[in-house]
Structure 1
Amino acid sequence: MNDSQQLPSLQPDSVRAALDSYEPEFINDESLMPSAVLIPIIEGAEGPSILFTVRTSRVEHHKGEVSFPGGARDPEDESITHTAIRETHEEVGIEPDKVEVLGRLNDHQTRTGYHITPFVGIVSPGADYDHDRFEVNEIFEVTFADLWETYLKGRQPFTYGQNTIMAYEFHHDGYRIWGATAGILAEFFDVLRAAR
């Protein structure tokens, strides 16, 4: 295994430095709904992990899919960063003062008309979770090491409708992480890898 394949550090200073060295791309399209997600890094007994949500069948878009906590920007939100933190609190119960935002990634456009701004944040140890049963069916964590191992395999053939594309896809205990969520996660890993 060469240096670029070794598991990078998820210490806050290392992640912040990697994100600071990255110039994210912005989308300026007012026809899209602005939204934000948070990649929540949790420090656990088995090392750092990343928290995901499984959406319920009651939400309007992406029913039953795995995603990061997040959602559409409210008019009262002070910033798009505030959107990510507010939505994380509403969906999974993590208090805003328990999240340290370390940086952001490229804006993404979804096929459902959303303009997503992804942020990366460290969640304080001992933070409580209590997911919103209307929007979130369940929450789960995957260790960074397991996700990194899948990421190193690269893009795989993925059939969507009549088309086959090369895309990242992650699997964990029956959960399928794909689409925009997998793309955002892989981009975060690209940034960490490039900063080595």
Structure 2
Amino acid sequence: MLYRPLPLDFYQQSTLELSRALLGKLLVKETEEGVASGWIVETEAYIGPDDRAAHSFGNLRTKRTEVMFGPPGYVYTYVMHTHCLVNVVSGKKEHPEAVLIRAVEPYTGIDLMYDRRGKEKKEQELTNGPGKLTKALGITKDDYGLPCFSPPLYIAKGKEIADIETSVRIGIDNSGEARDYPWRFFVKGNRFVSKKR
């Protein structure tokens, strides 16, 4: 283990607080190919069951959302349009909430990221979106349910972020009033923050 994972009690804060607190932390994935990591620079909060944009809206409990009903600090992965996305389960047990990690700034294992994403990519294209960062770091659907506080997929201490911006979330236009909630958080001016379509 290269880095020291954040303790479990780090995840025991509200989902909106956690979404901010995750910025600047180091997302690490250890695989047989090597270790890749990146500083988290963009997150989105999903506060089911009252959030129409959340998979757990209306307390929807399925095989996919089951991990969200458990304690905070665990990995929720799912596939959307062939891309795997990674979330951190948040909120209290039986109240299914999560934080989507939308972008990271590459830190270690950058050659490995190029192998996975393509040698022709510009550096900022490696991880500037939720499906890009999982591919670059080697995060897959098989990481579903793993703890965020021990290898192979974990979040380690990072750097303090002074300038955090907020906006509405991206790509949830069909979610009624929830599309207007200002629950996207990102590091101001960071070039790895995803671009709005």
**Would the TM-score normalized by the shorter structure come out above 0.5?**
no
Using structure 1 for the length normalisation, give the TM-score.
0.28
Higher strand share: 1
